[in-house]
Structure 1
Amino acid sequence: MDNPSLPAAIMGAATSVIALGVVLLKGLRSRRVMPREPHVNREFERETYMNDILCREQVLIFLHTIGHDVRFRVVGGRFYRSVETLHRYFRHVLRAILQLYKHMIREPDKDTPLEIRNSSRFNSYFKDCVGAIDGTHVRASVPIQIQGRFRGRKDGTTQNVLATATFDLKFPYVLAGWEGSAHDSRVLNDTLSRPRGLKIFEGKYYLGDAGYGVRKGIISPYHGVRYHLKEFSDNPPRNDKELFNLRHSSLRTSIERCFGVLKKRFRVLDAEPFWSFPTQVDVVLACCIIHNHIIGVDPLNSIMNNGLCGSPLANDSTSRRVQQSQWEVQEENREWV
């Protein structure tokens, strides 16, 4: 005979279990959840940290090499790296810096530079001037069968580097790789004909020396008239043409200062290179890129202030510029009177 109380007992037990479950569920929901620490991928963090150290080391090796003209064997002894590793590091950093060219080597603004706009000496003559243009020679190492093309007016083999400079001593354009025997005007013709060569805004111009001749976008000094600052140190200008040449020469020294600071900052540019010639050309461009970056973040560093001390440009620019500026102060006083 069936027990009538059994179904009731089962239902009571089931009800108790469900009720206990509801109570527990409510308790879990009402209980305050303790926050857990975020998961840290230690392997990823360790790899990122080590890569950061290696990248810094590679940049340091590159800058040490071009700044002090140190051979890889010497650098390897200091950083405990093999010559093969240093070659690989150098190429890696060089490629990375060259990718910054379009960001650091940029065309000047169309506006009149502050150095001209704020100067009563220059504004009336050069209000549409955006900078100066010139060439410089950098030591080059090339195969013996083509060395004749790279022997110019300088001793040894060189490459002719054309550049423009703004008056805050930055390079808006650089073309490296021409043979040392190439004339500046020939290099200029080449860059003006290139699709991505030197572009000069309509109505604007650069200051160039007599070697560039008379052409659109380049203002050269009067021929057969005193020009260099040393020629005016004891004899002030006697006519309008001489005064123009003096002002032209005073302003164009900015590019001479640029080249002087560049070669003082990167000793490798004045030493016998030990890379292939394409790499030598890239090194020149990389030095100009870094130069522009340094001026952007630290324009008053010691090399910028004393970049010409002890160099051939010191007697040709710094000291004579002081004498010339003293004379011009007296001239301006006479003009105001």
Structure 2
Amino acid sequence: MELNNVQKSQMIRKRMIIGAVTAIIASVLAFLNVKKSRTKRPKIVRQPYVNRDSLREANIDSVLYCGDSHCLGQIRMRPSAFFSFCNILVERGLLSKRKQMSVKEQVLIFLYLLGHNVRFRDVGGSFFRSTWTIHCYFHIVLQAILRLYPYLVNPPGTHMQPEIQNNPRFFPWFEDFIGAIDGTHVRASVPIEMQERFRGRKDKTTQNVLATVDFDLKFTYVLAGWEGSAHDSRVLGDALRKGFKVPEGKYYLADAGYGDRKGFMPLFRRVRYHLKEYTDNPPENEKELFNLRHSSLRMCIERAFGVLKKRFRVLDAEPFWSYETQVDVVIACCVIHNYLRGVDPNDAITREADLEVETHDIRKSLTQKKILEETKECVKKRNSIALAMWNAYKKHRTN
């Protein structure tokens, strides 16, 4: 019996040894197979360490220090205007240097996004920043620029504007006019259930933006956020309820959509105005002459809208952020536009936009507008201007 136990223990040890050896052999074979398979794969060459801070700074410098034209193409303003704009934001306490990002980089990224309508991830890749970082600083700069609105978008004064006073075609006939008013449509992105309300003149969804400009192409009032299907007169009514006012005795140049309100002077309806003063087809009466000069002077607002959309491509492309942000972006673009009118009014973008406006007839036939009843005061004022202007015009033609 004792012998049998010894034999059994020996057999158990032998089996354990065999099992251990088998496991070792299996492990060795597995290791060799893995090593063999790895040798067949292409080797991954490790890249050298990338100094992101250095590359980021080099990217910023390449935008700001490679010439005015290059900078204008990248961030839609020249370097001198850019640095001055950054200083304004810092001096007013609206932006400050953060641990992660300088003021210069914050503003540059913001302007690049507005100028080219690129995604946050695309800009993040160029500046070695995360999408979340770009998103956060975009909104920080946006809110800072919106707080500049009271400083840069000012109501017009009651004094006569030089563009009228120094031009015999407009003075003294338009001495009480302080600017022009109109609406423009800006691309909008809204939920499907809201899209029908936002389809305006075109098939695309838009927001209707009301604005007034002076004759220096500066915005003096901006109301954004109305759906594209809203009529201009309805948007104006909302603006008046929110505090928009016309100084007593003053007028805005307007189209037929605003003709039923005091302070807004439209053209004569159903009267031609696609003509020239000194050609073979001159105006034939006081109404035609008034319409001609009215439309010529009112081109200031079309020019302002043209420059705005030429500079900020984000306004002509489908946005990818919330609708509240889309509204804020429109106002921010107008604020920056006014700043640039003060420091760099004749840059290449402005000249290009003016050329496009001059070569493209943007005026619409008045018969296509909704005819609204005008106030007696505006009718009387307009008729007296037209008659006095016509008498002076005939006198000048006969001399």
User: TM range, normalised to the smaller chain?
Assistant: 0.7 to 0.9
For residue 316 of structure 1, what is the aligned residue in structure 2? 361
1:77 counterpart letter in structure 2: G
Aligned-partner SS, 2:210: strand
Shift in CA distance, 78/206, structure 1 to aligned 2, threshold 3 Å: same
For residue 164 of structure 2, what is the aligned residue in structure 1? 116
Instruction: Determine if contact 2:187/2:315 at 8 Å carries over to the other structure.
Output: yes
Whether 2:208 is the aligned partner of 1:208: answer no
Matching residue within 317, 320, 325 for 1:279: 325
TM-score, length of structure 1 as denominator length: 0.77
Whether 2:221 is the aligned partner of 1:158: answer no
Aligned-partner SS, 1:81: coil
Instruction: Determine if contact 1:229/1:249 at 8 Å carries over to the other structure.
Output: no
Q: Deviations over 1:286-317 (max 9, x none)?
A: 000000001101112111222144x4663227
Instruction: Determine if contact 1:230/1:316 at 8 Å carries over to the other structure.
Output: no
Whether 2:176 is the aligned partner of 1:128: answer yes
Shift in CA distance, 232/265, structure 1 to aligned 2, threshold 3 Å: farther
Matching residue within 293, 304, 314 for 1:247: 293
Shift in CA distance, 298/158, structure 1 to aligned 2, threshold 3 Å: same
Matching residue within 324, 347, 352 for 1:301: 347
For residue 217 of structure 1, what is the aligned residue in structure 2? 263
Instruction: Determine if contact 2:164/2:174 at 8 Å carries over to the other structure.
Output: yes
Q: How does 1:1-337 map to 2 (within 5 A)?
A: 54-194=102-242, 197-228=243-274, 235-309=281-355, 311=356, 314-316=359-361, 334-335=396-397, 337=399
Structure 2: 5+ residue stretches without partners: 1-95, 364-392
| Deviation for aligned residue 1:50 | 6.8
Shift in CA distance, 294/332, structure 1 to aligned 2, threshold 3 Å: farther
Instruction: Determine if contact 1:159/1:178 at 8 Å carries over to the other structure.
Output: yes
Q: Which has the higher contact order (CA 8 A, sep 6+)?
A: 1
Aligned-partner SS, 2:349: helix
Instruction: Determine if contact 2:276/2:283 at 8 Å carries over to the other structure.
Output: no
TM-score, length of structure 2 as denominator length: 0.65
| Deviation for aligned residue 1:336 | 7.6
Shift in CA distance, 317/144, structure 1 to aligned 2, threshold 3 Å: closer
For residue 68 of structure 2, what is the aligned residue in structure 1? none
Aligned-partner SS, 1:130: strand
CA distance in 1, matches of 2:191, 2:279: 45
Q: How many residues align?
A: 275
Q: Deviations over 1:167-219 (max 9, x none)?
A: 1110000000000000001101110111xx32110001100011212320100
| Deviation for aligned residue 1:259 | 0.1
1:138 counterpart letter in structure 2: V
Instruction: Determine if contact 1:256/1:313 at 8 Å carries over to the other structure.
Output: no
2:178 counterpart letter in structure 1: V
Aligned-partner SS, 1:176: strand
Shift in CA distance, 336/106, structure 1 to aligned 2, threshold 3 Å: farther
CA root-mean-square deviation: 2.4
Structure 1: 5+ residue stretches without partners: 1-47, 319-330
CA distance in 1, matches of 2:279, 2:231: 30
CA distance in 2, matches of 1:113, 1:70: 39
| Deviation for aligned residue 1:233 | 7.5
CA distance in 2, matches of 1:76, 1:52: 13
CA distance in 2, matches of 1:119, 1:175: 31
Moved more, 296-305 or 133-142: 296-305
For residue 388 of structure 2, what is the aligned residue in structure 1? none
Shift in CA distance, 317/103, structure 1 to aligned 2, threshold 3 Å: same
| Deviation for aligned residue 1:230 | 8.1
Q: Deviations over 1:93-131 (max 9, x none)?
A: 000000000001101111011000111111132100000
Q: Deviations over 1:244-291 (max 9, x none)?
A: 000100000000000000000000000000010000000000000000
Amino-acid identity (%)? 62
